[in-house]
């Protein structure tokens, strides 16, 4: 019988990340399918409240490596904690979230355990034998993997499962002691440098992906480009909706070629074959042609809409659910006006707070 270890770090505030809760769903579902023993392994500065929050997940054991030495993302201490938790649980399957912190260490941990690892897993099934699904070649090829080697470490891709929710209560956590040599503590994280919130345009948790294409920079019907208006239209929409900003390759490449473009876009915003494959319930493409190398990045966008002047653009050829054949400058000005009016009404009707 398999023993499944759900393995995760806790965040700096002692909670579990959204990706960790999604991964827990994968581990819980699999334990039911395989009738396997489920163990929880947590590490970080504090773990008790995170363990309590998932008390109802059906785990037989809760194990933790806890303390200041394990609060920072550092290869040596993270790998030691993950190895100790895997050994203490005698896990045959280790299921962990595909976060940057765990991705960095789990291949090494699998090696230390004489096991094997597969990453970017987006589905788990069993017909008696465990099968793990992942995509290759920019999500164009779907593969089903199985392995005889144990332990088998599986990193679960974010947004592949619904986040686990269930009852919380006080659980007994078994503390696993890990002693670190001085050499394992040499690296320290001195701080985090992140862009200000308004410049942080890539928002993986957003409900909507807003894609800007090269059309925003092209000459419009008056024979002139309108970059300033394009910038205002896009940024106002992002501010009003908290949407995540994607781009076509053509638009981000223009900045590389030194042309005047929208300053807030980088190659990190690029969606497509040589860009990202984000996951959002809805997507709105504007001034983007909808060519296959771009649209392949929309694989996980459920409801797709596009605004384009050209009724024969790629989106019209079965790539979008709805195509608005219209001028995106005009449409977005109207939409932003409506969103701003709605925000004003919300502010006016919000109950006053008396200090």
Ligand X SMILES: Cc1cc2nc3c(=O)[nH]c(=O)nc-3n(C[C@H](O)[C@H](O)[C@H](O)COP(=O)(O)OP(=O)(O)OC[C@H]3O[C@@H](n4cnc5c(N)ncnc54)[C@H](O)[C@@H]3O)c2cc1C
CA distance 350 to 85: 49
State in angstroms the smallest separation of the CB of 290 from ligand X.
7
CA distance 287 to 328: 7
* Residue closer to ligand X (CB basis): 48 or 139: 139
CA distance 213 to 288: 4
CA distance 306 to 289: 9
DSSP 274: T
Decide: is 83 part of the binding site for ligand X (CB under 6 A). Answer: no
Using the rule CB under 6 A, which residue among 101, 273, 320, 336 binds ligand X?
A: 273
Using alpha carbons only, what angle is made at residue 136 by residues 135 and 142, rounded to the nearest 5 degrees? 45
Nearest alpha carbon to residue 56 among 25, 26, 16: 25
* Residue closer to ligand X (CB basis): 82 or 323: 323
**Can you tell me whether residue 264 is helix, strand or coil?**
coil
- Which residues fall within 8 angstroms of residue 353, CB to CB, at 6 or more apart? none
* Residue closer to ligand X (CB basis): 152 or 300: 300
Decide: is 327 part of the binding site for ligand X (CB under 6 A). Answer: yes
* Residue closer to ligand X (CB basis): 44 or 297: 297
Stretch that binds ligand X, among 52-60, 86-94, 256-264, 272-280 (CB under 6 A): 272-280
Stretch that binds ligand X, among 56-64, 89-97, 231-239, 286-294 (CB under 6 A): 286-294
What phi and psi values does residue 48 have, to the nearest 5 degrees?
A: -60, -45
**Residues that contact ligand X, how many (by CB under 6 A):** 30
State in angstroms the smallest separation of the CB of 212 from ligand X.
8
| Contact assessment for residue 247 and residue 268, using Cβ atoms and an 8 Å cutoff | no
Total residues found in the chain within this entry: 355
State in angstroms the smallest separation of the CB of 314 from ligand X.
8
* Residue closer to ligand X (CB basis): 27 or 233: 233
* Residue closer to ligand X (CB basis): 151 or 297: 297
State in angstroms the smallest separation of the CB of 100 from ligand X.
22
* Residue closer to ligand X (CB basis): 84 or 238: 238
The CA distances from residue 330 to 216, 286, 309, 322, in Å, are 12, 11, 11, 18
CA distance 101 to 81: 13
CA distance 4 to 27: 7
Pattern of binders to ligand X over 290-319, x per CB under 6 A?
-x-xx--x---------xxxx--x------
* Residue closer to ligand X (CB basis): 85 or 307: 307
State in angstroms the smallest separation of the CB of 342 from ligand X.
24
| Contact assessment for residue 314 and residue 293, using Cβ atoms and an 8 Å cutoff | no
Decide: is 288 part of the binding site for ligand X (CB under 6 A). Answer: yes
Pattern of binders to ligand X over 159-198, x per CB under 6 A?
----------------------------------------
Nearest alpha carbon to residue 47 among 81, 11, 17, 20: 11
CA distance 37 to 6: 11
State in angstroms the smallest separation of the CB of 286 from ligand X.
6
Considering only residues 206-265, where is the footprint of ligand X by CB under 6 A? 213-215, 218, 220, 248-251
* Residue closer to ligand X (CB basis): 7 or 251: 251
Instruction: State the residues that interact with ligand X by CB under 6 A.
Output: 213-215, 218, 220, 248-251, 270-275, 287-289, 291, 293-294, 297, 307-310, 313, 327-329
């Amino acid at each position: 019988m398999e023993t499944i270890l759900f393995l995760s770090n806790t965040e700096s505030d002692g909670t579990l990340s959204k990706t960790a809760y999604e991964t827990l769903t994968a581990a819980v579902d699999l334990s039911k399918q395989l009738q396997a023993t489920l163990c929880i392994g947590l590490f970080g500065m504090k773990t008790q409240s995170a363990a309590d929050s998932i008390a109802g997940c059906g785990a037989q054991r809760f194990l933790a490596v806890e303390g200041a030495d394990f609060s920072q993302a550092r290869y040596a201490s993270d790998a030691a904690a993950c190895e100790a938790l895997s050994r203490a649980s005698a896990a045959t399957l280790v299921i962990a979230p595909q976060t940057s912190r765990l991705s960095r260490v789990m291949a090494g941990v699998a090696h230390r355990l004489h096991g094997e690892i597969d990453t970017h897993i987006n589905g788990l099934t069993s017909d008696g034998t465990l099968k793990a699904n992942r995509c290759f070649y920019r999500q164009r090829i779907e593969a089903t993997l199985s392995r005889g080697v144990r332990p088998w470490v599986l990193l679960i891709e974010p947004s592949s499962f619904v986040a686990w929710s269930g009852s919380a209560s006080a659980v007994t956590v078994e503390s696993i002691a890990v002693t670190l040599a001085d050499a394992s503590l040499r690296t320290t994280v001195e701080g985090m440098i992140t862009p200000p919130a308004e410049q942080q345009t890539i928002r993986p948790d957003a409900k909507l992906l807003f894609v800007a294409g090269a059309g925003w920079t092209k000459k419009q019907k008056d024979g002139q480009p309108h970059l300033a208006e394009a910038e205002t239209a896009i940024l106002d929409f992002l501010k009003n909706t908290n949407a995540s900003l994607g781009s076509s390759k053509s638009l981000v490449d223009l900045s590389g070629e030194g042309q005047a473009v929208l300053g807030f876009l980088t190659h990190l915003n690029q969606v497509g074959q040589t860009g990202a494959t984000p996951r959002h319930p809805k997507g709105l493409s504007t001034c983007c042609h909808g060519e296959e190398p771009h649209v392949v990045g929309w694989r996980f966008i459920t409801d797709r809409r596009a605004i384009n002047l050209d009724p024969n653009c790629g989106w019209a050829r079965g790539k979008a659910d709805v195509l608005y054949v219209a001028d995106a400058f005009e449409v977005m000005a109207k939409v932003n006006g409506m969103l701003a009016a709605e925000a004003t009404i919300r502010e006016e009707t919000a109950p006053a707070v008396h200090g």
